[in-house]
Amino acid sequence: ANAVTNFDSATYDVGIRDKVIISVPKLGKEDRQFADYQRIKILEAKDLADFSRQFMKSGVHADIKR
């Protein structure tokens, strides 16, 4: 079974409409097309690294309590 299809079905079953997949490694063409069609946001490792660098530079993280 396809992991993206299973993810989409499971989230639909419980009423989740805003969906994000963190993909490591990069998704294949068919999986990406399906995700796009289902409006699933795909984040890849590179995207997360870029976000992390921006987040750390912003100083916003200093306000987060652990």
Q: Which residues are registered as beta bridge partners of 41?
A: 20
Can you tell me which residue has the tokens 């992390």? Answer: 52
What is the tens place of the pLDDT at every residue in 25-66? 888 999 999 999 999 999 888 887 777 777 777 665 555 555
What is the tens place of the pLDDT at every residue in 5-14? 999 999 999 9
Nearest to 46 by CA among 30, 22, 28: 22
Model pLDDT, residue 41: 92
Model pLDDT, residue 53: 79
Nearest to 31 by CA among 45, 20, 42, 47: 42
